[in-house]
Amino acid sequence: MALIWISAVRILSEHITPRIIAMAFPCEGAESIYRNDISEVSAFLNMFHENHFKVFNLCAERTYDPAKLGGNVEWMPFTDHSPAPTEEIFCFCEHAYDWLIADPNNVIVVHCKAGKGRTGLMVCAYLLYSRECSDPVTAIQYYGEKRTKNGKGLTISSQRRYLFYFYDLWKHGPRNLVPLVISRISLYSNVSMKHDIAIQISCNGGNGSFQLNQILDSQHGGCVANLVKEGKNTTFLFSEVRIMGDVRIAVYDARYSGKPIFYFWFNTAFVDGNLFTLASKSELDKPSKVVEEDTKVIVVFSSRLLQKFGRAEVMLGGEGRAMEHITKKLSNINRFLSPVRRY
């Protein structure tokens, strides 16, 4: 992370490309001592990019008066340490592209709270969208090198997973949303816990929204038909848990329901077959210290009910965000982009 001093102006930011700036949240008061002071951010942007900057605020937990940064601020909030729906990733890329293509002097400023994870997801997606990078692995590596000293910029597993989802849609076009029915979730782990494991499942029903609806909490029974424990391995058996779209599954120590020991996200449009497997701790989000490296999670879907419900005739993107429009937009930008165009 660069520490930029211009006279009395101190900004924690980094140019990912000459026209893409990533930074921490612009703050006021005591917090501005170790993050960014919003008045100094304003001074910096007006000094170097007056009337040519657009700010994307990705922070869901807080915001600020857009007028303090000139008014050209777009709020695209999603939760810390979580991915954004692919619909919103495309929306960000399209809005960023439209701003950058409008004037060669225009720049975008992207921030969340620390200016790493959520910022990294959107910036990496745009590096793919604009063909700055050819694939997600390259984009993640490039962003990490530019944004951090240790190369660890986009580290949350589900955020990385959704970057690959975005790339798949960008490269191959829309997918049909699929309603799935979870029959069981198995945890193969040496997790050392003194109490029972609880599990929560939430999804957005495929509407492309940031808002999830909780559809199961194992502590309250509901659709949990049985719980099988063999040593330190645990399997939840469900009578019927129907999901569609973006899904979040969180595992808790049953005694402490506040903070999960790990969680993960996926989208049903990208589930091939009847299994969704996470093969190690590195594929889980924010795993606690009690989770061993060889932890494996397998989500099993019911083949019979898959055939019963069939595949939904809904394009990934939901109503009002038709992916056909995005596909046309992508074809149009090819007229402006060379195989590698640097911003």
Write out the catalytic residue numbers. Answer: 112
Interatomic CA distance for residues 136 and 231, integer angstroms = 38
Dihedrals φ, ψ of 281, to 5°? -60, -35
Distances (CA, A) of 324 to 166, 236, 320: 15, 39, 11
Are the C-beta atoms of residues 291 and 281 closer than 8 Å to each other? yes
Are the C-beta atoms of residues 76 and 59 closer than 8 Å to each other? no
DSSP secondary structure string for all residues of 275-336: EEEE-SGGGSBS--TTS-TT-EEEEEE-HHHHHHH---S-BTT-TTS-HHHHHHHHHHHTTT
Strand order in the sheet with 213-217: 213-217, 197-203, 246-253, 262-267
Residue 254, Ramachandran bin (φ over 0: left; ψ between -120 and 50: alpha; else beta) = alpha
Say which residues have a Cβ less than 8 Å from residue 318's Cβ, sequence separation at least 6.
87, 206, 207, 208, 209, 245
Two tokens, residue 256: 């402490």
Interatomic CA distance for residues 205 and 223, integer angstroms = 18
Interatomic CA distance for residues 91 and 73, integer angstroms = 15
- What's the distance, CA 165 to chain centroid? 10
Interatomic CA distance for residues 204 and 78, integer angstroms = 13
Handedness of CA 271, 277, 282, 285 (dihedral sign): positive
Dihedrals φ, ψ of 283, to 5°? -95, 0
